[in-house]
Amino acid sequence: MKKAWPAILCALWLSACATMPHDQTAAVADFVGRIESLARQDGGEFPTDKAAMTLAPKLPFMLSITPADMDAFARQRGLKPEDCDIYPLFALSSVLYQHEECRRYVQHHFHVIQHPDLKLTWAYLFLLQSQETPEMRKYVKEMLNSKPVSKWATGLANDLGWTAITNRLYRGK
């Protein structure tokens, strides 16, 4: 009987998982909705520090969002996938980056970030503060050298400063 318990527990767990409702599109919509409803700094685009930290426990979920998830979310909102960007995720990331525990989490889990533009966002943030890992450095170089370079990559680099990024990437400054 002792040997049967692991199999029984495993079967119970699998049956429970099979009956659990999991709608990734709804989860993404809920998460983005939460970001959009956060209090803003001076009425601007970025959430306040205190508001952003309420979503810090959801950082692993945010890193798991894929381009397909965002496309489904766009369609759910009646948008074309190409018209739905990750700006709310960028705004939240920019504020969460200010917190050491969030930075540390992303540094150790950079490889699991599923959305290329979100991955690039975090890499840029680390790069501009000279805190990037070799993996981040390599990723940014690959993205900037890819053809065509994504609109997000060029737009974000323009906003954050091409000079600062290229100096850091290619000259180590």
3-state per-residue secondary structure call for 71-124:
HHHHHHCCCCHHHCCCHHHHHHHHHHCCCHHHHHHHHHHHHHCCCHHHHHHHHH
- What are 128-152's pLDDT values in tens digits? 888 999 999 899 888 877 766 667 6
Contact 88, 35 (CB under 8 A): yes
pLDDT of residue 160: 63
Q: Where are the domains of the chain?
A: 23-171
Q: Is the pTM of this model over 0.85?
A: no
pLDDT of residue 84: 72
pLDDT of residue 133: 93
173 class by beta-carbon count within 10 Å (0-12 exposed, 13-18 middle, 19+ buried): exposed
pLDDT of residue 15: 38
pLDDT of residue 92: 92
43 DSSP 8-state letter: G
> Given the structure tokens 């029984």, which residue do they identify?
8
Among 53, 16, 13, 21, smallest CA distance to 35 is for 53
Q: In the chain, which stretches have pLDDT less than 70? A: 1-22, 147-150, 152-154, 156-163, 166-168, 170-173
> Given the structure tokens 């060029």, which residue do they identify?
154
Burial 88-102 (b: 16+ CB within 10 A, else e): bbbbbbbbbbeeeeb
pLDDT of residue 22: 57
pLDDT of residue 122: 94
Q: Mean pLDDT across the chain, nearest whole number?
A: 79
